[in-house]
Amino acid sequence: MFKNFLKRAKARFQPDKGLIADTYVVEGESSLTHDFRDNICRLQIIFKDCSDIVFREFEIQMDKQVSAVLIYLDGMVDRVTLHNHVMRSLMGISKKDYPQELSPLHRLNRLKNIDIMVGEIKEEQDMYTLVNNILSGEIIFMLDDCDHALILNGRGWQARAINEPDTETVVRGPKEGFVETLRSNTTLIRRKIKDPNLKLKVVQGGKKTNTDIAIMYVQGICPEDLIEEVEKRLKTINLDGVFESGYIEEFIEDNPYSPFPQVQITERPDKVAGNLLEGKIAIIVDGTPVVSIVPATLAQFYQSPEDYYERTIFGTAVRIIRLLSFITSVTATSLYVALVSFHQHLIPGEIVLSVAETRVGVPFPTLLEAVFMEIVLELVREASIRLPGSIGQTIGIVGALVIGQSAVEAKLASPILVIIVAISAISSYVIPHFSTSYSLRFMRFMMIGAAGTFGAYGIAIVWIGLLIHLCTLESFGQPYLAGVAPFRWTDLKDTIFRVPLWMMGTRPTVPDMKDIDRMLGAKGDREDDNGEG
Amino acid sequence: MRVLKLVIILSLFLIVLSGCWDSVELEEQFLVWGMGWDIDEENPNLMTLTLSAPSTTEGAPEPYIAVSSSGYSVEEGRKNIQKQLQYTIEMGHLRVLVISEDFAKQGILKFMDSLGRNPRIGRETKLVVTAGKAKDLWDLEHPSNLLPADYLVELLKVNAKQGITADITFRDFFEAISNEGQEPVTSFIRMSKDAKMFNAAGLAVFKEDKMIGKLMDIEVQAFQFIIGKCKNGTITVGESTKPGSNSITFCHRRGGSKVKTEIINGEPHIYLKVELEGDISEYTADKPTVDEEVIEKAETAVTLRVKKEVEKVIEKAQKEFESDIFGFGLYFKAYHNNYWKSHDWAKEFPEANVHVDVRVKIRRIGIES
Amino acid sequence: MTMVRGKQIISTKQLFAILFLGLMNHGYVSISRWITEVAHQDAWISTFLGGFIAFVLLNIILLLMKRFPDKTFIQISDEVLGKYLGKIPGIIFLIFLLFFTALSLYLLVSLVSAWLLPKTPIDVIIISILLLQIYLTREGIKVLGRFQEMIMVIVLLGMPITFLPYFIYQNHTLLMPIGGTGVVTILKGALPAFYTFFTFFSLLILYPYVRKDASHKEIVKASNMSILVVTILKTFYVFGSIAVFGEKEIQFFLYPLLEYVKLLVFPVIERVEFMMIFLWLFMMFSGTVTTFYMANLTAEQVINVEGYKNTGLIIAIPIYFLTRLSQNIAESLSLFRLEGAVLSIVLLATIAFVFGLSFILQKGGENA
C-alpha cells in the first residue's frame, strides 16, 4: 500500500516553480526597489480590481516629511490595532524626535524599533511574500525611498465563537470545540498541553488558496520519522485549493480505495490533546474546525473522550457495546437473509413460525426485500441529514414510521425485517466516529449480497475478506488493527477494554516511540515485542 | 495484470449473479414439525409416512396440516408426499418422530438412516412409539389448539422433568443402539380415552432395533432409578383411601444410582445401588403429624416399594425382554473386558445376578410437622 | 523503520498463531472418526502419541534450522546440493505442498458442501476460497501473520463452547478399558493421528521469517507451545467425543465434532452450531491458507522469483484441479492415507537427506 502511495506521489508532485511569480509579476525583479511610487504601482497592478485592498497613503513628520503607505485587506485586519497602534503612533511623530538627518533604512528601523506599537513586526523585501501577507491579513507598511517594507501583525476578523461541536457531543467533559481560525485552534491545544515539547510546524497548501496547514506533535513521544513522513506527504499535495481537512486526507492516506477511514478527524481539542500524548500527529487546516489525526487505528474510531471521563466499568461496557454494534450493524440484516432463505433449521422453533407467517404474501425473495428496505433506509437517512433540523426530523419520522408501516401493511416487507434493518441502522450510529458508519453501510450491502447467494458461508467469506483487508491496511506505517493484529497484551488495556487510568502506565504501542511511560516509574510492564518491527 | 484483475472481478460477478442454488424461501417450505411411521394398511410391505407441519397462511381453517403417503422408505414416502404439496419439504425443524407399535416391532434402524444423514435435523428430536396409529395422532384436537407435535414434545419434556417418563431423543437412541452393551428404549404414549390427550407415562423397550415390549407408569420410574435419573419425582406408598388407612408420598429431590460389576465363578454379578433423597410431600393419615417414627416408617416403606419395583423391572427386562436396556453390559465391557470378549452379553444378561440395594433418606418433612 | 513498509517478517506470537491454526485445522472436525476407526476407545491416547511424535520431529527440524537461521528449506537445499541438484528437494516439497493444500481445501469445501450448501456447485466454493487465499498471500507473510493472529484470538474466544457437550453428556464407561485395545493398536492409531499434526513442517519455510531479534529459544518456545496446545486440544476432542458418543457411534459420523457440538441446545437460540459454523470456517480457512502461502513461497524460491505478486494465481490453478480430483469424501480420505504414507515418507527422507548432507559437508551453522 505504501508503494501505491509513492506511485501516486511521484505522479502528482511537482516542485514549486515560482507559481506566484508567473501570476503576479508583470516584469522586472521581484523585490522592492527604492522607487516608492513604483513599488505602490506594482502592488496596485497586482491587486487590480480588488476593491477590498486599501492603500492608505500619508505623510510622516520625521527629519523631513516622508511619504508612507499602509496596505491591508479590509475586513481581515483588526481596526483597533490599525487605528490606535499603527496610525496614531505614526501620525503622532513630530519633527523634534528626529533632529538629525537619517537614511531611509534608518528611518524604517527607528519606526520599527521605537514608534510602531505592534506586537509582531517583520522586515521584508520580497514582493511575493508581501502579497501573501496582505492576503492573510497583515498590514504592510512602506516608506518613501526605502526598499524594505514592514509587515505588521494586525490580523483580526470576525470569527465564530468557540462552542461545543454538534457532531461530537459529550455529557461529561469539556464543551469547547475547534473553530475555523487556525490560531484559535492551536491555542486550544496549547492550553491543554503546556509543554515546550509540543511542537507546531506550518506548511502551506493550495496553489491559489495558500492555506496554512499546521502539524502538531509532542517531541519525544512522536517518532521522528513519522513527523518527517507526514511533512513529506503534506508537501506532495498539489491542489489549487485546500478548504477542508478532507482535501489533504485523500492525499496523505495510504489506501485510497479502502472503505475504511485512515485518518481520524475530530472537532474536540481534548481528543486531539489525548492523541498527541499517544504519539500521534495532529494536522490542522486553517479554515475548518475539523482536525485530522494520524496515524489512525481502527480501535480509535470506537473510542470517545467520554470513555475516559466516565467510570472505568462503564467505559469498558460502552466499548464492548460498540464492538458488538459494529458486528450487528454489518451482519444483522445479512444474517436474517441467510437464515430465512438458507438455514431455516437454525431459526429457533418459536420464532420460525412467526417469521414464516410474516413472509407469506411478500412478493420478493428475502434478498431483494432486504436490499429494498436498506435502500429505503439510506434514502431516508440521506434526505434527512441535509435538511435543516426540524424538517430533517420530520423526514426521519415520516420515513421511519410511514414507509416502514405501510411497507409492512402493503406486504412489501415483513415486519421482522423492518425491525432488523432498523437495529442494524441504529447500531451503525453508535460508533462515535461518523465517517465509520459509511464504511459499515458499505460492508453491509456486500454482506447482504453474499448472504443471499451463499447463506452463512457467504457471510463468513465476506467477513474473512474484510478481516484480510483490515490486516493489509496500514496508516503511516502503523498497522490499522494495531493492538489486535499484531496482538499486544499491553494495548488491550485501551482498545477493547478501558482499564482504570492508573493502570494505563504505558502509552499504546507505536514503533520507535521513545517516551513510552505515561507515569513516573511505570516502566516495566511493557512488552519488548512490538509485533513486527 | 489488469486483465487478470478483470477476470477475477468478472468471475466474482458471475458467481453472485448465477448464485442462489441453495436458497429456498421460508414461506415456500413445508416445515415438518412431526413425523409418523406406520405399516401401510393396504399393503403391509409398505410404510405410511405422515408429515405434520404448522400452516403459515393467515386465516387457514386448520392451524396445522398433516399429509400421509406410503413407500418403501422414508425418502420415498417423502417424495410421494411432495407430489401433493406446493411447498418444499424441510425437515430441519423435526421435533418428534412417532412410530406405531406395530411398525416398531419390525425394526426401525434402517429407516432412521435418512434422518441421521440429514445434517439439518437436530439431535434433540424426540423419539416416541405410540400404541395406536401414528397417522391418527396428527388429527388430534387438543383443547388448547396446540400443534400436536408441540403438545407431544412439551408433554414429554414436562413429564420427564418430573420423573414420570423419560424423553428419549435421537441422541439417546443412536448412542444406545450403536454402543455394545446397551439396548435402546423410546418414549411410549397412549391416547387417552376421549382421544383428546395422550398419556406419556411409558417406555418402549427395544432389542436391537426391534420393539419387544413396554414399561408403563411405575415401571418407567423404576427404570429411571436404575439408570440414575432420579433428580425429581414422587412415589406414593398407600393402602387405601378409606378412613383408618393412610398413604405417604415421597418426593425425591436428588439421588442417583451406582453400578458395580463383578465376575464370581465365571458368572456376572451386578451390584446396583439406588440412592434417593427427598421429603414427604403428602401424608394422608387421620392424624397428619409427622414425627420421627413416621419418617422412619415411611423410609422403610418407600425403600421396600422402590426395591420391589426396581427388581420387578430388572426381572422383566431379563426374563421377558431379554434386553439390557440399563446398559449393564457397558460396565462389563469396560471393567471385565476379557469376560466381555469371551461371552455373548445378549445371552448372558438374562442369567446375570442383580443385587439391588436401595437407600432412601427423608431429609425434610415439608413446612408442617 | 516505521515508515518503510516493513520487511516481511512475523513475530513469535504470529508464528504461534500460524502453527496453531495450521495444526488445529487439519482433522479438526473428523479426527475422532479417523483415529477411533483404528484405535477404538483408546484413540485419545493415540492422538496424544501422534502429537508427541510431531513434537519430537518438530524439535529436530528446529535444531536443523538453527544451523541456517536465515534460509528456508529450499534455499538450504540450494546451498547444500548446488544450484541444479538443489532444486529437486524443493520440487518434491512443492508437489507435497500442492497436494496437501488441495487436500485440506477439499476437506473444507466438502464440509461446506455437506453442511451448508448441498446444491451449490463445488467449483464455486473452491474458487471463492481460492480467491480469498490469493488476496491474502499477495500481501506477504506479514499480513498473513496478522490475519492468523486475529483469527486465533477469535477462535480461542469461541472454543470454550465446544468443551461444553463433554461436561454435559460425558459417560466415562465408554472410554473403558483404558489401554484395552493393546499397545500395537494404539501405536497404529498414532500414525493417522500424527498425520493430522503434519503441518509442523511449515517451520521449514517460516523459520527465517521470524523477526531477527527473536532468539532461537523464543522460536522453539512458540512452536513447542503451539504443538503442545494443539495436542492437548485434539486429545481432548477425541476423548470428549468418545465419552459422549462411544467409539462405535462416532463411526456413523463423517464430522464427529460437528455432531458433538450439535448436542448443545440452548434455550431460545436452540442451535448453537450456527455460531460454530463461523468459527470453523474462520479456522479452516486460516489453516489452509498457511499451506497455500507456503506452496506459493516455495514455488517462488524454486524458480527464484521471490516477491512476484501473482504466484498465488498460478499456484491456485493446479490446486483447483487437485481439489477437484477428490470427488467424494471417501476417496479423499483414502487419498489422505496414501499421501500421508507415501509423500510424508518421501518428504521426511528428503529433509533428512538434505540436512544429513549439510552435516557431512559441514555447511551452515556457526562453523561455516
Contact indicator for B237, B248 with CB cutoff of 8 Å: yes
Task: Decide if C127 and B331 are in contact by the 8 Å CB cutoff.
Answer: no
pLDDT reading at B59 higher than 80: no
Would you call C101 exposed, middle or buried from its count of C-beta atoms within 10 A (0-12, 13-18, 19+)?
A: buried
pLDDT tens-digit map of C263-279: 887 777 777 777 787 88
* Cα within 13 Å of Cα(B308), Cβ side: 9
Which of these three, B171, B187, B216, is where a domain ends? Answer: B216
Q: In total, how many domains does chain B have?
A: 2
Q: Does C318 contact chain B (CB < 8 Å)?
A: no
Report the C-alpha gap between A259 and A237 in whole angstroms: 22
At C337, is the pLDDT very low, low, confident or very high (cuts 50, 70, 90)? low
pLDDT at A9: 47
Q: Do A344 and B26 lie within an 8 Å CB cutoff?
A: yes
Q: Does A257 touch chain C (CB under 8 A)?
A: no
CB contact under 8 Å between C131 and B12, yes or no, is yes
Q: Is B178 within 8 Å of chain C by CB?
A: yes
Phi/psi at A65 (nearest 5 deg)? -75, 120
B273 and B174: one domain? no
- Chain C contact present for A214, CB below 8 A: no
Residues B46 and B181 in one domain: yes
The position carrying cell 419439504 is B89
Q: At what angle do helices A366-386 and A434-454 cross, to 10 degrees?
A: 170
pLDDT in tens, chain A (533 residues): 445 555 554 444 443 444 444 444 444 567 888 888 888 888 888 888 888 888 888 888 887 888 889 999 888 888 888 888 888 888 888 877 777 788 888 888 888 888 888 888 888 888 888 888 888 888 898 888 888 888 988 888 777 888 888 777 888 888 888 998 888 899 999 998 888 889 899 888 877 888 889 999 998 888 888 888 888 888 888 788 888 888 888 888 888 888 888 888 888 899 899 889 888 899 999 888 999 998 888 888 888 888 888 888 888 898 889 889 988 999 999 999 998 888 888 888 778 888 888 888 888 888 888 888 888 888 888 887 777 777 777 777 777 778 888 888 888 888 888 889 888 888 888 888 777 888 888 889 889 988 888 888 999 999 999 999 998 888 887 888 887 777 777 777 777 778 887 777 777 766 656 666 666 554 444 444 444 43
Contact partners, residue A167, CB within 8 Å, separation at least 6: A267, A434
Written as nine digits, the cell of B89 is: 419439504
pLDDT of residue A12: 46
The least confident of A339-348, B263-272, C300-309 is C300-309
* Residue ranges making up the domain that contains C237: 12-360
Residue C291 included in any domain: yes
Last residue of a domain, one of B169, B191, B216: B216
Answer whether residue B273 is part of any domain: yes
Q: A341 and B26 in contact by Cβ < 8 A?
A: yes
A257: amino acid identity, one letter: Y
Question: Domain for residue B228, yes or no?
Answer: yes
User: Which residues, in sequence order, are CB contacts of A400 under 8 Å at separation 6+?
Assistant: A380, A422
Kindly report the CATH number assigned to the domain that includes residue C205: 1.20.1740.10
CA atoms within 13 A on the CB side of A328: 19
Is the minimum CB–CB distance between B153 and chain A shorter than 8 Å? no
Supply the range of the domain harboring residue B290.
218-369
CB-CB contact of B121 with B35 (8 Å): no
CB contact residues (below 8 A), chain A span 452-471, against chain C:
454-457, 459-461, 463-465, 467-468, 471
Q: CB–CB of B122 and C249 under 8 A?
A: no
In a domain, B3, yes or no: no
pLDDT at C231 over 90: yes
Chain C environment of A464 (Cβ under 8 Å):
132, 281-282, 285
Spell out the residues 6+ positions from residue A126 whose beta carbon is closer than 8 angstroms to its own.
A30, A31, A32
* A contact residues 6-35, partner B, Cβ 8 Å cutoff: none
| Per-residue pLDDT, A216 | 92
In a domain, B353, yes or no: yes
pLDDT value for A282: 93
For residue B5, is it within any domain? no
Q: Nearest by CB to B26, which of A355, A449, A455? A: A355
How many CB pairs below 8 Å do chains B and C form together? 69
Q: Is residue B18 part of a domain?
A: no
Contact in structure between B231 and B254 (CB atoms under 8 Å): yes
Instruction: Show residues of chain C in contact with B8, CB under 8 Å.
Output: 131
Residue from the list A348, A512, A533 with its beta carbon closest to the beta carbon of C211: A533
Does one domain contain both B203 and B347? no
pLDDT at C292 over 80: yes
- DSSP code for A160: P
Question: H helices of A342-414, where?
Answer: 349-359, 366-386, 389-397, 404-409
Q: What is the CATH number of the domain that holds B321?
A: 3.30.300.210
pLDDT digits (tens, 9 = 90+) for B180-237: 888 888 888 887 777 677 788 788 888 888 888 888 888 888 888 888 887 788 888 8
Å between B130 CA and nearest CA of chain A: 24
**ipTM of the prediction:** 0.90
Is A461 in Cβ contact with C281 (below 8 Å)?
A: yes
What is the nearest CA distance from B136 to chain A, expressed in angstroms?
23
The confidence score (pLDDT) of residue A15 equals 39
B304-324 per-position pLDDT tens digit: 888 888 888 888 888 888 888
Segment 123-142 of chain C within 8 Å of chain A by CB: 125, 128-129, 132, 135-136, 139, 142
Which residues of chain A neighbour C12 with C-beta distances below 8 Å? 529
Looking at the 3D structure of chain C, how many domains does it have?
Answer: 1
Q: Is the pLDDT of residue B331 over 60?
A: yes
What pLDDT is attached to residue C364? 53
Cβ–Cβ below 8 Å for A356 and B92: no
Look at strands B88-90 and B29-31 and give their pairing.
Answer: parallel
CA B327 to chain centre: 15
User: Is the Cβ–Cβ distance between B238 and B248 less than 8 Å?
Assistant: yes
Residue type, C266: F
What is the H or E stretch that residue B53 is in?
Answer: strand B47-54
Residues C316-330: what's their mean pLDDT? 78
Nearest CA in chain C to A232: C3
The confidence score (pLDDT) of residue A291 equals 92
Q: Is residue B311 part of a domain?
A: yes
Q: Provide the pLDDT for residue C6.
A: 47
Would you tell me how many other CB atoms lie within 10 Å of the CB of residue A238? Answer: 16
Query: Residue A215 has what pLDDT?
Result: 92
pLDDT tens per residue, range C53-68 = 889 988 988 888 888 8
CB contact under 8 A, A360 and B58: yes
**Which of B28-42, B184-198, B240-254, C206-220 has the largest mean confidence?**
B28-42
For residue A500, report the phi and psi dihedrals to the nearest 5 degrees: -55, 150
Does pLDDT of C228 surpass 90? yes
Identify the domain boundary among B163, B183, B216: B216
Kindly report, residue by residue over B127-184, the tens digit of the pLDDT.
888 888 888 888 777 767 677 888 888 888 888 888 788 888 888 888 888 888 888 8
Alpha helices in chain B (DSSP H): 2-17, 74-82, 101-105, 109-117, 148-161, 170-178, 218-227, 292-315, 328-335, 337-342, 345-348
Whether B52 is in a domain gets the answer: yes
Q: What angle do CA B216, B220, B223 make, to 5 degrees?
A: 140
Distance from CA of A346 to the nearest CA of C (A): 6
Distance from CA of B45 to the nearest CA of C (A): 27
